[in-house]
Structure 1
C-alpha cells in the first residue's frame, strides 16, 4: 500500500467510473488530484478565444466541486505538463502518479518524459486504459498484428466483449482516501491562463458531467431511431455526445454497455460508431507516423493543387455548393459539424477542389470542439482515400446528390445559408440553375448575393480520377470509374 499518490487528470474530466482515480484510491492512503493547463498544447492554439479551453475550464470547475464534496479537490497548474507534474510530485512528496493512457504520439512522448523524470528518484507513472474499451494488444489479428480494416476489427471486438470490459470502476468504494489540495485548490480564470471567454453558452453547450448527463439522457430516448436518422443534418438524429467523450465528461463504458445491452438496430448502429472510435485509437497507437503522411505510402505520390483562394472559399463556406457551405458555416458558428457532412466537405475539398487532405485536417483541428487527433486523421484519410480501410479513390461524393438525399427540403441549408432562405426546394441544392427572373423572385442573385460554384463537379471528378492514376491498383479494384451519389 502506497502512502501517497497523485491522479493526473487529462482527457477524463469526471469523478466516477475513472480507471486512474479508482486504482490510485485503492492503492494509496492519501490521494491528491491535479490537472495541468499544458502550455505545450495551449501555446500552439491559433486563437486566444478557444471554445475548447473554456469547455475544459468550466468542466474543471464542476469537477473540483464534485471532488471537494467527497473530501478532495483539484490542484491546477499552468505550464508544460512534463515539467509541472514532476515538480508537483516532489512538492507533495508523492510516491506514484496515476493517469489514463493517451494514444497520440505527442502525449506518449510527454508521458515517457514524465516517467523518466519520476524514475530518477524512485517514483513512478502508472498508466491505465480508460478512454477505450480495448487497446494495445487486446484486439489483434490471428497473426498478432494490428487490424487495418474495420469490419474484421469490429467482429473481433464484438467477439471479445463481455460484461467485464464495460463494468464501471467503483471509485466511491475507496473515496475516503481522497486528500484535500493544499490551500484548498481551485481553478484559475480564463484570463489567468491567457485566454478569453467565448460564445459557449450562446451556442447551448453546457460543459462537464452535468452537460454530458443531460445529453446522454436525451439520446437514450432516441437511440433506437439512430440508424434511420443519423444521416440527416436537419433532424435530431445523432447523439451530440462527441465533445463529452473527447474530454471524458462521461464514461465510454457506460455508453458501450447501454448500446450493447439494448441490442436493437439503432443501438447496434451506434455501437459500431463507438467501435470506430476504438479502431482509430488503435490505428494511431500502432502507427504513430500517421499525422505526418498517408497510411498508404504510395498515396503520398498524389500531387495536390496549391489553390489558396479555393481553400479559403471552402473554409469560409462560399463554394457555391449549398450543403458544403452550410456545413462549413455550422463548423465556424458552433465548433461542431454533423458526421455525414464531415464526409461530404472532406470529399469536396480533396476530390472536387483537389486540395491536400492535411489542409482540411488542420482546419478541423483549429475549430472542432470535439477535435480528437485519431478520429480527425482517420476521417480525413478515409475521405481522401489515403488511410486504412479508406473509401476507394475512385469513389467520389457528388455534393448535389448528397444534398438532395440528406437535406431534401433544404432545411439545414437554409439554417446556415440564410441568403438562400427564399430559394424554392427544386433549386435549393443547385441555385445557379435558376433563371435570372427566378433568382430575382428568390431575392438571391448568383454571383452577387451567393457565389456561383467555384468548380464544376463533373470536371473535378474527371481531374480527380486522373490525379489518382499514380496509385491505380493500390486502393481498390484497379481504378474503376465510379461516382458516389
Structure 2
C-alpha cells in the first residue's frame, strides 16, 4: 500500500501528492498525524490545532459526500513509529507528501523519516510547496520560476482514475487502536476564523468580488483591514488554499471587476509571501540566530516587567495595547500593526526579538515560520541590509485610528477618554481627569517608557553597529545569497 501524508496542505483541490497517489494505481491511505512533540512546541497554541481539526473535519465531510467510503485517517503519535507500524503490517511502498518549510523540530523529523524510508526501501515522493525551491543556492532566477509555477494548471486529483482501494483505518484496526487520536476542538473558538477548504473559498470569493475594492485604502488600518484585507493568510498557512489557486483566481477576477489596481497590489503580496518563505528555506537558522551575525554584539537584557506588559497590552500606549489584546483574542492583526508591535518591543523596549517571536507565533492563527522569522528580524533591525523601521505608536495611532474606534474597541478602560486625548491620555491634566472621571494610573497605566528617549537610544545602538566590519561582511554574504545578482536597471 501507499500513503498520502497530509501536513500543511489541508485541501483536496490542487493537490499534487493526492493526484500522484491516485495515478500510481496502488491502494493508498490518506493520513494525518497529530504529533505530540510538535503540538507541544512553544510556537503553537490550541487555536492552531483547533483550526487544523476544523480543516480535517471539512475534508472528511467533502470526501464522504463524494463517496461514503472515503476518509482521511487521523492518528496520534510519533510519525516514525506510526510509519514503522504501518510498514510492518502492510508493506508500505510509497509515501506522497508536500515539502514543508517548517520549524527545526519538523525539519529534524523529516530528516529522520528520510533515513528510515531509505533503510526500508520506501519511496518518499515530496512535492514542491507554492514555488519554494529546496536546496536553492541563490535567487538569480527564482522570481521568474515562481511566476511560471503560478501560471501552471492545477494538480487536480482525478478520482475516476482510482484503480486501487482508498483505505481507511477505523476503530477495529489495531494500528488505529494503538495510535488513537484525540479531539482538539476548543470550547470557545468564536473569535477565530473557522478552518477548512470550504471556508477558505468563501473568504476568497467575497474578497475578490467585493472586499478587495478597499484593499489598498484599508491595508494599514487596524480596524478597517479586518474586512478590507483578504483574511486568507490562515487558509494559505495551513494549506486550505494553494498560492497558485489564489493567484489564478485573482488574475481572473481582474477581468470582471473595477478594482483591478487593488487586486494587482494583492497579487504582488502573494509573491512576497513566497519570497520570505524562500529566504527562510535557504537560511533556517533565523529561527534561532540573527540573520546578520554582526548584530550578535548588541546586548539586550531581558526585562520581565516590560515583556509582561507588552504581552498583556498594558504598556500605556493605547494603539500598542489595543493591537496586543486584539491579536491575543482573535488571532489576527494586519501587517503594519504587527510590524509596529514588534518594533516597539525590540526598539523602544529594547528586548530580544526571540522573546516576542515565540509569543506572537502562539497568537497568530496564520503562523507561518517562513514568513514569521524573516519578518521579525527585519522589523527588529538585525538583518543589516534592510532599513531600520522604528514605528512611533502615537503617530501610527493618529494616522490609522484617528478617532480611536479600534483603540476603544479593545481597550475598554479608554471608552470614556475624550477623542482629543485618545492617542496620548497621559497629557490630560489632573483637572481634566476629574472632569472625565478618568484617573491615569488607576483606569489606565502610565506609559512604561519615555518614547522619545527610548527611540533615540535604540537608534544610536542599531545604526551605530551597522558601520562595523562584521555587519558589512555579513551584508555582502546575505545579498549574494538572497538577492538577485547583476540586476538590470
When the two structures are superposed, what TM-score results if normalisation uses the length of structure 2?
0.86
Residue 209, structure 1, aligned to residue 197, structure 2: yes
Secondary structure at the counterpart of residue 313 of structure 1 = helix
1:420 equivalent in structure 2: 414
* Contact map agreement 2:349 2:449 (CA 8 A) in 1: yes
Secondary structure at the counterpart of residue 289 of structure 1 = helix
1:195 Cα deviation after fit: 5.2
2:106 equivalent in structure 1: 107
* Contact map agreement 2:346 2:353 (CA 8 A) in 1: yes
1:300 Cα deviation after fit: 1.4
Secondary structure at the counterpart of residue 282 of structure 1 = helix
1:73 equivalent in structure 2: 71
Residue 116, structure 1, aligned to residue 115, structure 2: yes
Q: Which runs of 5+ in 1 are unaligned?
A: 148-152, 477-485
Of 159, 171, 177, the residue aligned with 2:157 is 171
When the two structures are superposed, what TM-score results if normalisation uses the length of structure 1?
0.87
1:256 equivalent in structure 2: 247
Of 214, 228, 240, the residue aligned with 1:225 is 214
Secondary structure at the counterpart of residue 6 of structure 1 = strand
Residue 240, structure 1, aligned to residue 228, structure 2: no
1:166 Cα deviation after fit: 4.3
Residue 270, structure 1, aligned to residue 266, structure 2: yes
2:453 equivalent in structure 1: 459
Change (3 A) 1:194 1:174: closer
Change (3 A) 1:329 1:309: same
Change (3 A) 1:115 1:388: farther
1:176 Cα deviation after fit: 2.8
* Contact map agreement 2:25 2:162 (CA 8 A) in 1: no
* Contact map agreement 1:16 1:171 (CA 8 A) in 2: yes
1:397 and 1:50 map into 2 onto residues whose CA distance is 31
* Contact map agreement 2:342 2:356 (CA 8 A) in 1: yes
2:300 equivalent in structure 1: 304
Secondary structure at the counterpart of residue 355 of structure 1 = coil
Can you list the C-alpha shifts for 1:402-454, whole angstroms capped at 9, x where unaligned?
A: 11111111111111001111222221111111122322343321111101111
- Counting matched residue pairs gives 454
Secondary structure at the counterpart of residue 161 of structure 1 = helix
Residue 55, structure 1, aligned to residue 51, structure 2: yes
Change (3 A) 1:28 1:115: farther
* Contact map agreement 1:423 1:442 (CA 8 A) in 2: yes
2:144 and 2:3 map into 1 onto residues whose CA distance is 34
1:14 Cα deviation after fit: 1.1
2:202 and 2:90 map into 1 onto residues whose CA distance is 37
Of 7, 10, 13, the residue aligned with 2:7 is 10
Backbone CA RMSD of aligned residues:
2.6
Change (3 A) 1:240 1:55: same
Residue 281, structure 1, aligned to residue 277, structure 2: yes
Q: Report which stretch shifted further, 433-442 or 273-282.
A: 433-442
1:378 and 1:117 map into 2 onto residues whose CA distance is 31
1:479 equivalent in structure 2: none
Greater relative contact order (Cα 8 A, min sep 6): structure 1 or 2? 2
Change (3 A) 1:237 1:164: closer
Secondary structure at the counterpart of residue 75 of structure 2 = strand
* Contact map agreement 2:27 2:167 (CA 8 A) in 1: no
2:150 and 2:441 map into 1 onto residues whose CA distance is 60
1:185 Cα deviation after fit: 9.3
2:343 and 2:150 map into 1 onto residues whose CA distance is 39
Residue 401, structure 1, aligned to residue 389, structure 2: no
1:289 and 1:73 map into 2 onto residues whose CA distance is 37
* Contact map agreement 1:331 1:368 (CA 8 A) in 2: yes
Change (3 A) 1:244 1:198: farther
Can you list the C-alpha shifts for 1:367-423, whole angstroms capped at 9, x where unaligned?
A: 221111111111210110113753x23x41111001111111111111100111122
* Contact map agreement 2:131 2:145 (CA 8 A) in 1: no
Of 93, 96, 108, the residue aligned with 2:94 is 96
2:161 and 2:384 map into 1 onto residues whose CA distance is 43
Q: Structure 2 matches for 1:21-60, cutoff 5 A?
A: 21-45=18-42, 50-60=46-56
2:266 and 2:43 map into 1 onto residues whose CA distance is 33
Of 413, 417, 423, the residue aligned with 1:429 is 423
Change (3 A) 1:353 1:441: same
1:262 and 1:358 map into 2 onto residues whose CA distance is 40
